[in-house]
Amino acid sequence: MMKKLKLVMIALLSTFVFIACDNSEAIQDVPVEAIDLKTAETEAVIDEVSDETSVIIEEAYLTEEYPNTKSFDSERYLPDCVTITKVITLNKKTVTIDFGEGCELRNGNFVSGIIMLSYEKNPEVATKTISYMFENFYFNQKNVAGEGIILRERSNENGNPQSTKTFNITVTWADGLYAKKEGKKVREMIEGQGTNAWGDNVFLITGNWTFTKRDGTVLSAQVIEALRRELACKFLVSGIIELNKNNNKALLNYGEGSCDDLATININDRGEREIHLSNL
């Protein structure tokens, strides 16, 4: 009788061990999601910062180099609270864009601090290389640090003004959270050139970059559908960015063209989540 009981106990124990091992293997087979919702939201914020600073730099450049164009018409895109100064040495021009303690842009974004530009002073060349850096600069209460280079073409193959920006910026939130973005963007002006109003300016943006979180996690990003920026709108109105990390994918979709703060995030094809960019 005891012998039979021992055999039953051994069989039960073996079954338990088998099930435990099987469950362990099943748990290990569950894919670990390397991209979470918060990460995708953070990318959206930094993309907004990157794009808006591009607008500021280019509008300040036009204000300085072409004062008789629409940048100086009845209402410039850059508000009256900004101070633009220049220093010329030999063939080099240094331009300081100073927003002081705080300044609201025409589209409602709030900035403070300084962006400094440096470039060759000859305005007649077909292409211009502009170096820039940030000094105690804040965008909607987030600190922006870093530098970059913009290659500005007066006319691309489509006959449109185009800028290729190579950048390396770090954005830090008030609570100490930060993230870094490094890569390249191409920004083509497709509407608005030659008119007397900044509000009709429209740009298409492509590019790719790496996105690094505070914990060291690195993701790659690629514009897979050109981002559309209408200067009269505070947010991107359309286009899709794809984020990738260890065979995991997230799509950040800015919509179909409406001027609103809505975007969607779809992680690993598990369904879209709507986010409000103004809340990030």
pLDDT tens readout for residues 116-171: 999 998 877 889 999 999 999 999 999 999 999 999 999 999 999 999 999 999 99
Distances (CA, A) of 245 to 40, 90, 253, 268, 275: 12, 47, 18, 11, 21
Q: CB burial class (10 A; 0-12, 13-18, 19+) of residue 36?
A: middle
Q: Which amino acid is it at 161?
A: P
Full DSSP string of 181-209:
EEEEEEEEEEE-TTSS-GGG-EEEEEEEE
User: Minimal CA–CA distance to 189: which of 228, 140, 244?
Assistant: 228
**Do the beta carbons of residue 73 and residue 197 sit within 8 Å?**
yes
> What is the tens place of the pLDDT at every residue in 1-59?
444 444 444 444 444 334 344 443 333 333 444 689 988 999 999 999 999 999 999 98
